[in-house]
Each structure stands twice: as structure tokens, then as C-alpha cells.
Structure 1
Amino acid sequence: MATRDDNLTDVRTIKASEFKAKCLKLMDEVANSGVEIVITKNGRPVSRLVPYRDEEPTMFGRNRDQIRILGDIISPLEFDWDEERELALIQGKNPDKPAIGPK
């Protein structure tokens, strides 16, 4: 029996006894078709046979062993930061030219 699950993918349901008899054939079918098989016992789902997919690499740990920390990254920096000047530079304005206000 073929149905569709919540993710709108095809799903086939079979009894555990049928799965036991046709296990290798069913594995090939799933690999070739991409259709998931839900295996049931006494009418209740107990397992899923799904096609194997390589996991997408995550961002977490991607640069492990590629970045070195040189010096103290915890202590505060010891210089003054002119945030208004920095903002003017980011906005493409001349930070050294005084702003002209309304007259």
C-alpha cells in the first residue's frame, strides 16, 4: 500500500512478515526508487526503511583545526573607538567634515 506522509513523499507500508521474506529486494527498491517503506507489526508501524543520503556538512566545526588564536581574546582592548566616525565611514560620509544642520 502506497500513501503520502506529512512531507508529501511517497511511502509504502508492508507487514513485517513480507519484509522478512523480501528484505534484500526491498532494500534495492528503496535505493533505486527513493520511496520509503514503513514496516508494521499487528497493523502498527515499528520501523522505516529509507534511502541512504549523505549528510550535508554543517557549519558547526567546519573550521576546526584551521584557526589559531594568537594572544588574549578575553581582555578588553585598550584603545578608544570613535563609533560616530566609524559609522560615517560606513555610510560613505566624510567623518572629518562637520555635519550641517538646519538654519
Structure 2
Amino acid sequence: MQFSVHAAKTQLSKLIDAALSGEEVVIAKGARPVVRLVPIRQSGFALGTHRGALGDVPDFLEPVEDADLDLWEGRGPAPAE
């Protein structure tokens, strides 16, 4: 279906619903089609769904032991070969 810009302004909610239901919605300036409304694919991603599945995960916001911090910053003893 094709709509003028004016019609699209007044019926935007209905046009969005039509695009979400799979209809092709085109907006035209005069007789020239210029825009197509398409739905954005929604992901099924949800935070926290694998909680506990990874085992013990370090808390990266906890303070680091001084010895570990020295190693991280290259101030510790050289690694053994």
C-alpha cells in the first residue's frame, strides 16, 4: 500500500501496525515513492538467562589484591620459562 506524506502523518500508528503484520507500506511525495516502512527484527536476547551456567565468574568491580595488581601492571616478578 502506498500513502502520501499527509496521509502517513495522520495514520502513522495504523501504518506501523500494518508494517508489523507484514504488509508493505510505502510513503510517497506526490506520485514518487520515497520511503518504505519495515519492522525492526526483535532479538530474543535477555539478560541473566544463563546465570550460574558459567560457574564462578570473578566480580570485576571488587578490589584487586596488591600482588595481582603488580603482575597486571608489569611490576611483578618475570614469568618462569
Compare CA radii of gyration and give the structure with the larger one: 1
TM-score scaled to structure 1, two decimals? Answer: 0.37
**Relative contact order higher in (CA < 8 Å, ≥ 6 apart):** 2
